[in-house]
Amino acid sequence: MEKNIQPIDPIAFSLGPIQVHWYGVIIGLGIALALWLAMREGERRGLPKDIFADLMLWAIPIAIISARLYYVIFQWDYYSQYPSEIIKIWNGGIAIHGALIGAVATAYFFAKSRNVSFWKLADIAAPSLIIGQAIGRWGNFMNQEAHGGEVSRAFLESLHLPEFIINQMYINGTYYHPTFLYESIWNLLGFILLMGLRRVNLGRGEIFLSYVIWYSIGRFFVEGMRTDSLMLTESLRIAQTISIVLIVVAIALWVFRRVKGYSKIRYLEKEN
């Protein structure tokens, strides 16, 4: 029996009656780094200096709302009984696929309004998206959520994990797979890959499509290990289904855009 293992306090600090949760702090840090990287690369690629800052003013709130709505819709049996819980996103419960739907849709209409190629914006933003996701998963760690099935302490120690991670995976008397960590590492590797692809000079849109494929492959396998998946049916996980659809759609778009010549402009070219 494990003794004296206390979880990390999910409250980072308090400002009077306001409690600031680690979940929000970490998500905020991920967004800040993502924005800085996108602004830096966007300026280097000849876009207006503040275009990504302007985009984020719209994309962040819409992505948060769509992420929460996505989660609430698929957990409606619970939230219909406790509607006051719907706004409490600091307790977790936002779905990254919902956030991506909101963010990509916002970026599409924003690009049209600024007369800039959506695919150019998406290519520049792709590494920012995946590093933001890699950081954001640590918010799940602080909340002791998005974990996998039961494991032994010996198994976690065999992964050579730091003690603080092992201890945080001890929840209600049981150790669990740190699936948040698996996905975070996968996303970090994806970030390295996408940064490298910037030197390959792929066709327009193909860095973003590479992001969709890479992230979806990792998410499919990690999701299969989780115990808190949103379910489409009793045996069909929503995130796995969407991951497969996204992989197929991304590959089809890649081929279609090449055949039609839509990707003939290369990433390193500076035309809009």
Q: pLDDT at position 139, please?
A: 92
If one compares 111 and 17, the residue with the highest pLDDT of the two is 111
Phi, psi angles (nearest 5°) of residue 12: -75, -50
| Alpha-carbon gap, residue 272 to 229, rounded angstroms | 40
- Cα–Cα distance list, 201 to 42, 255, 268 (Å): 15, 17, 6
Instruction: Indicate the DSSP class of residue 225.
Output: T
From start to end of 94-191, where are the E strands?
150-151, 170-171, 174-176
Report which residue type is found at 87: I
Bridge partners (DSSP) of residue 15 are: 18
Torsion, CA 25, CA 214, CA 47, CA 40, rounded to 10: 50
pTM, rounded to two decimals: 0.91
Tell me: is residue 137 an annotated ligand-binding position: yes
Looking up tokens 């494991």 gives 151
SS3 81: coil
Report which residue type is found at 230: L
| Encoded tokens for 202 | 């792929």
Which residues lie below 8 Å from residue 225, measured CB to CB, with a gap of 6+? 148, 149, 177, 179, 182
Q: pLDDT at position 3, please?
A: 61
Q: Count how many residues are written for the chain.
A: 272
| Alpha-carbon gap, residue 21 to 120, rounded angstroms | 35
Query: What integer best gives the mean pLDDT of the chain?
Result: 92
Contact between 190 and 218 under an 8 Å Cβ cutoff? The reply is yes
Q: pLDDT at position 228, please?
A: 84
| Alpha-carbon gap, residue 203 to 194, rounded angstroms | 13
Q: How distant is the alpha carbon of residue 183 from its chain centre?
A: 9
210 pLDDT higher than 90:
yes
4 pLDDT higher than 90:
no
Q: Is residue 271 very low, low, confident or very high in pLDDT (cuts 50, 70, 90)? A: low
- Tell me the per-residue pLDDT of 92-128, one tens digit each, with 9 for 90 and over: 677 889 999 999 999 999 999 999 999 999 999 999 9
216 pLDDT higher than 60:
yes
If one compares 20 and 124, the residue with the highest pLDDT of the two is 124
Count CA atoms closer than 13 A to 254's CA, side-chain side: 16
| Alpha-carbon gap, residue 70 to 66, rounded angstroms | 6
- Tell me the per-residue pLDDT of 245-257, one tens digit each, with 9 for 90 and over: 999 999 999 999 9
